[in-house]
Amino acid sequence: MKQDFKDLRVVIIGGGPGGTACALAMRRKAEQLGRKVHITLIEGKQFIHEKHYNQCVGVLSPPLPELLENELGIPFPMQLCLVEIQGYVLHSSGEQIILQGAGDDSFAMRRVQFDQYMLNQVYKAGIEVFNARAVDLEFHTDRVIVYTESLPLEADVVVGAFGLDEGSAGLFARHTAYRPPHAMNSLVTKFDPQNDHDSNLEGYIHAFLISNPRIEFGAVTPKCTHCTINIAGDHVDTPLMDRFLSNEQVLQVLPELNGGNVQQNHDLIYFKGRFPRSLARNYYGDRYVMVGDAAGLVRAFKGKGVTTAVMTGIRAADTILNHGYSQKAFHDHYRTANHDIIQDLPYGHTMRFLTIMMSRIGFLNPVLRAARDCPDLESALFDAVSAHALYREVLSKSLRPTTILAILKAMLPGSNSRSTSKR
Ligand SMILES: Cc1cc2nc3c(=O)[nH]c(=O)nc-3n(C[C@H](O)[C@H](O)[C@H](O)COP(=O)(O)OP(=O)(O)OC[C@H]3O[C@@H](n4cnc5c(N)ncnc54)[C@H](O)[C@@H]3O)c2cc1C
């Protein structure tokens, strides 16, 4: 494939974290290399005045501040931070444990404000932004044409940063061998308990692994004056969210949810979103590459989606500028750069499977009890819930002989005391 490295034209479809990071990294690195690159970012939504949203709880995890500051040359928007996360309370169907770790610098903010901040940085960098949707593509030997709801655009290479948007995935699937990742559903709602002290939960995120086979996990996240509540699973829906909100453990954390009459009492609005739970097929080829959710390049099972989208956006920009935009360049450099994420996926899937099975049969209760006296297990649970370490490390800590022994001891009759420390 003929590649002209002089005046590169790049079109990025999607202005979420992956797309904006790719645009900013490309502009910065091109300047450092003295290369002329024309970048156009296409974003269909308007984040300004919170008109449109990308579904998210808005917990931003390390190393996001370093990525923004060191790789993109922009400050981390600390002014948008609503809560600095202090730790996690993990609940099984009968137990709970408080988990804290060193260097856990996660922040909760309104995701729409973060997206608007990133897009503003793109404007500030002088990058062209099209507020329209990409609606079709044509791949030719010497260029790609991206049709939008306004003008068509020509590019040497197109970056797919469109998240799990099914229409955009369909576009690429029609013209290339790309196939989107499998996805898991999530329902989200915002709850305002009208009580400042309780509502911010002292900065702790409550994670629930309860024994409902259709809810893989649930979480209550403090957001200053309100909480965000979400559940995830392949088939989660409104009745399941109702059931989650009337669950005994959830009511202990948020008593004002008031049992069954949640919807009537509080007019809660449920929103639906999706997480990728597998790698996309053929997420790169001649003249195209996917980043973030569109590639399925995220930690399996539990998140860090924003951080990994930014990371993969930067890696795609690096590959295009330094190695080109052929299928081989992406295979040799982009795929290799993402080995950390890709190699951890099987461990994440194993962890997901084990967690689902254990919560169904009530085996998580002894695990949580054992963790109180077993530092390795406690640290493995913290790493899994906070997403601060690779699943390979989480599994290796969990399978140490001392850990297994501690779990076996916790299964013995008489060791089933509940934790007294509650937040
Ligand atoms: C319920 C829920 C809660 C979550 N909570 C968290 C969390 O707390 N922390 C975290 O790190 N991650 C969280 N995630 C995951 C996180 O939201 C994603 O991993 C992350 O947003 C992926 O970024 P992205 O740039 O790849 O895609 P997205 O953020 O989805 O951005 C894609 C963008 O592309 C645009 N677009 C799509 N198609 C087109 C088109 N044809 N033309 C123009 N524009 C287009 C969309 O409008 C969108 O703005 C959550 C996800 C869900 C569903």
- The share of the chain scoring above pLDDT 70, in percent, equals 91
* % of the chain at pLDDT higher than 90: 71
Range 112-115 contact pairs with CB under 8 angstroms and sequence separation of 24 or more? 112/47, 112/50, 112/52, 112/53, 112/54, 113/47, 113/50, 113/77, 113/80, 114/17, 114/58, 114/60, 114/77, 114/80, 114/306, 115/15, 115/16, 115/17, 115/20, 115/47, 115/54
Tell me, yes or no, whether 418 lies in a domain. Answer: no
pLDDT band at residue 359 using 50, 70 and 90 as cut-offs: confident
* 258 within domain boundaries: yes
φ, ψ for residue 145 (rounded to 5)? -110, 130
Average per-residue pLDDT in the chain?
Answer: 90
- Please enumerate in sequence order all residues whose Cβ is within 8 A of that of 211, keeping only pairs 6 or more positions apart, or say none: 93, 359, 360, 362
Confidence of residue 270 (pLDDT cuts 50, 70, 90): very high
Statement to judge: residues 328 and 404 lie in one domain: no
Question: Do 130 and 42 share a structural domain?
Answer: yes
Tokens of 100: 């804290």
Q: What is the pLDDT of residues 225-242, one digit of tens each?
A: 789 999 999 999 999 999
Please state the φ and ψ torsions of residue 329, each to the nearest 5 degrees: -60, -45
Does 169 score more than 70 pLDDT?
yes
Say whether both 222 and 263 belong to one domain.
Answer: yes
Distance between start and end Cα atoms, the chain: 60
The CA distances from residue 253 to 270, 295, 394, 408, 420, in Å, are 19, 36, 27, 29, 14
Tell which one of 293, 298, 311, 386 to mutate to probe ligand 1, the residue whose CB is within 8 A of the most ligand atoms. 293
Task: Please tell me the least confidently modeled range out of 198-212, 218-232, 275-289, 341-355.
Answer: 198-212
Q: Is residue 135 part of a domain?
A: yes
Q: How confident is the model at residue 6 (pLDDT cuts 50, 70, 90)?
A: low
Same domain, 36 and 160: yes
**Between 263 and 74, residue with greater pLDDT:** 74
Q: Which of 271, 111, 244, 274 is nearest to 189 (CA)?
A: 271
Segment 380-404 shows an average pLDDT of: 90
19-34 confidence digits (pLDDT tens): 999 999 999 999 999 9
Boundary residue ending a domain (323, 343, 363): 343
User: Is there a single domain that holds both residue 161 and residue 195?
Assistant: no
213 lies in some domain: yes
- Both tokens assigned to 378: 């406690």
Alpha carbons 60 and 309: distance in angstroms, whole number: 12
In this model, does residue 122 exceed pLDDT 60?
A: yes
Residues 188 and 149 in one domain: no
Same domain (yes/no): 76, 11: yes
Give the span between the Cα atoms of 223 and 101, in whole angstroms.
20
Q: What pLDDT shows up at residue 420? A: 40
Mutation test of ligand 1: which of 153, 162, 269 has the most ligand atoms closer than 8 Å to its C-beta?
162
Dist. CA 74–CA 17, nearest whole Å: 13
Q: Is residue 98 part of a domain?
A: no
Residue showing tokens 């610098």: 105
In a shared domain, residues 139 and 242: no
Position 97 in a domain = no
Grouping H, G, I as helix, E, B as strand and the rest as coil, residue 295 is helix
Whose C-alpha lies nearest to ligand 1, atom 42?
Answer: 133
Which one, of 387, 288, 315, lies nearest residue 347 by Cα?
Answer: 387
Q: Which pLDDT belongs to residue 4?
A: 54
Compute the distance between CA of residue 293 and CA of residue 208 in angstroms, rounded to an integer. Answer: 24
Q: What's the gap in Å between 24 CA and the centre of ligand 1?
A: 17
Q: Which numbered atom of ligand 1 lies nearest the CA of 274?
A: 53
What is the pLDDT averaged over residues 380-384? Answer: 90
Per-residue pLDDT band at 326 (split at 50, 70, 90): very high
238 in any annotated domain: yes
Is the same domain home to 202 and 138? no
Residue 192, domain extent: 184-275
Q: Which of 143, 162, 142, 163 is nearest to 152 (CA)?
A: 143
Q: Is 162 exposed, middle or buried (0-12, 13-18, 19+ CB in 10 A)?
A: buried
pTM of the model: 0.93
- Claim to verify: residue 402 and residue 308 sit in the same structural domain: no
Q: For position 223, which CATH number holds? A: 3.30.70
Is 368 in contact with 92 (CB distance < 8 Å)?
yes
- Mapping DSSP to helix (H, G, I), strand (E, B) and coil, where does residue 74 land? coil
**Tell me, what's the pLDDT at 99?**
94
| Residues 118 and 25 occupy one common structural domain | yes
- Atom 29 of ligand 1, nearest CA residue: 16
d(CA 93, CA 86): 23
Query: Residue for token digits 């080829």?
Result: 285
Find the 176 Cα to ligand 1 centroid distance in Å: 22
From CA 67, how far away is CA 308, in angstroms rounded? 10
Nearest-angstrom CA–CA distance, 138 and 38: 19
Mutate to test the pocket of ligand 1, among 158, 165, 174 (most ligand atoms within 8 A of CB): 165
> Would 90 be classed as within a structural domain?
no
Cα 25 to Cα 17, 68, 73, 74, 141, distances in angstroms: 12, 9, 8, 10, 26
Residues 356 and 402 in one domain: yes
Residues 6+ apart with CB under 8 A from 325: 3, 156, 157, 286, 287, 288, 289, 319
For 421, phi then psi, to 5°, come to -80, 115
Considering only CA atoms, which residue is closest to atom 49 of ligand 1? 16
Q: Which of 66-70, 231-235, 284-288, 322-326 has the lowest mean pLDDT?
A: 231-235
Domain boundary among 256, 275, 294: 275
SS3 state of residue 68: helix
Domains in the chain: how many in total?
3
Average pLDDT over residues 372-378: 92
Residue 336 belongs to domain with CATH number: 3.50.50.60
Predicted local confidence at residue 423, as pLDDT: 37
